[in-house]
Structure 1
Amino acid sequence: MLNIFIDTSTDFLILILEQNEKIIGQVHHNNARRHTETTLSTIMKLLSEHKLKLQDINNFYLTSGPGSYTGVRIPMTIVKTIKVINSVVKVYTINTLIYQAGLDNVISTLDARGEKYYFAVVSNGTEVIPSQLLDYETCLDIIKQFPGYEFRCDLQIVDLGQNYLALKKHFRLVDDMTTLEPQYLKKDWS
């Protein structure tokens, strides 16, 4: 089985090419604000480097958000198009904050700009406190309640390949592509 993981929910373009539980290729570029122009061409380049084609991929693994509004939509648009062309391809998703945490005990955050953060407390691939959009002070108050949990922000200190492999069983199969929707977190800050 040939699988590819795609994440563009933050400033980073993350691609992991995996075959039979072994990572055979990986891309991790700071690609801020260029995901729309470069994601598909970077996928094609990664596949070409391994003498593979898009048609060789059996499964797509994606993050579903939270994250950048456009960033969480790009991989979904790509795989929806591929699924129309090749209906046997399977698509799996996982929450970005869970992906960042892996199987560790983690306070997982992503910068949502404007002193707001996408925030979740995650243990062993499961949310202890569900993903939500919080202000900085609220994040600090919750962090104090979880001593011993590692703090991770914006996918910068993560072994991306290891987290992907460890979490494969936590990804959710998307049976109906019409249900493939980005996870947006919003809060009325008035």
Structure 2
Amino acid sequence: MNLFLDTSNNKLILILENNNEIVDSLFLDNQLRISDIALDELQKFLSKNNITIHEVENLYATKGPGSYTGVRVAITIIKTLKTINNSFKVYLISSLAFQSSNKKAISILDAKGGKIYLGIYKKGQNIIEDQLIPSEYLVDFQNQFFDHELIKDYSEVDFENAYLNNKNNFKEVTKIEDIKPLYIKHFI
């Protein structure tokens, strides 16, 4: 059994999957206090599906970029579970890569303050490294990558399909100390 968590962008996304089949999913949007609800919602989600965390073998999560607190929530949960039970396999992916869902995409997330996180992807492969840029630079990237779909702020993303389509793009993290959030700093 596999469990996916994403708390990086004011959404709580939980997906339970087994043998590439979605067992159940939960999407809670506009969660300003995600750190207050994530563990309770995870417990309710597992109970609803009549499983315990001990029946989960693999943990999947986005590592950011995104909301500073939001990024830390899923990573902290994953890291704690791995610390308690080292037999869990952990797989992480950038939230920009997750949202691109194996498409030819310019993937962006609002970074506030007139800035955006941007990554450019082609079939799950990062062709322009995830970075933080001023919002006005987006036009230049759109002109250069005119044949790429613009996907932003998790809008209109089918989270179940994004998870399944990206499953092979997650990177396994074996050392607990390597389970950490992706914070992208400004280039200047």
> Do the two structures share a fold, i.e. TM-score over 0.5?
yes
Q: How far apart, CA to CA, are the structure 1 residues paired with 2:179 and 2:82?
A: 12
Q: How far apart, CA to CA, are the structure 2 residues paired with 1:181 and 1:73?
A: 8
Taking only aligned residues, the RMSD between alpha carbons, in angstroms, comes to 1.1
Deviations 1:13-63 (A, max 9, x none): 111111111101111111432110111111111111111111111111010
Q: How far apart, CA to CA, are the structure 2 residues paired with 1:152 and 1:182?
A: 22
Q: Is the 8 A contact 2:119 2:129 kept in 1?
A: yes
How many residue pairs are counted as aligned between the two chains?
A: 188
Partner residue, 1:72 = 71
Q: Secondary structure at the match of 2:13?
A: strand
Residue 134, structure 1, aligned to residue 133, structure 2: yes
Partner residue, 1:33 = 32
Q: How far apart, CA to CA, are the structure 1 residues paired with 2:167 and 2:115?
A: 29
Q: Structure 2 counterpart of 1:19, which letter? A: N
Q: How far apart, CA to CA, are the structure 2 residues paired with 1:6 and 1:49?
A: 16
Q: How does 1:77-96 map to 2 (within 5 A)?
A: 77-96=76-95
Q: How far apart, CA to CA, are the structure 2 residues paired with 1:52 and 1:178?
A: 28
Change (3 A) 1:188 1:98: closer
Change (3 A) 1:142 1:115: same
Q: How far apart, CA to CA, are the structure 2 residues paired with 1:103 and 1:78?
A: 26
Q: Structure 2 counterpart of 1:59, which letter? A: N
Partner residue, 2:159 = 160
Q: How far apart, CA to CA, are the structure 2 residues paired with 1:187 and 1:82?
A: 31
Partner residue, 1:174 = 173
Q: How far apart, CA to CA, are the structure 1 residues paired with 2:18 and 2:155?
A: 25
Q: How far apart, CA to CA, are the structure 2 residues paired with 1:183 and 1:74?
A: 12
Q: Structure 1 counterpart of 2:8, which letter? A: S
**Any unmatched runs of 5+ in structure 1?**
none
Q: How far apart, CA to CA, are the structure 1 residues paired with 2:37 and 2:6?
A: 13
Partner residue, 1:121 = 120
Q: TM-score, normalised by structure 2?
A: 0.96
* 1:179 CA displacement: 1.2
Partner residue, 2:3 = 4
Name the % identity: 38
**Any unmatched runs of 5+ in structure 2?**
none
Q: Structure 2 counterpart of 1:124, which letter? A: K
User: Where do 4+ consecutive residues of structure 1 move more than 3 Å?
Assistant: none
Q: Secondary structure at the match of 1:144?
A: helix
Partner residue, 1:97 = 96
* 1:188 CA displacement: 5.5
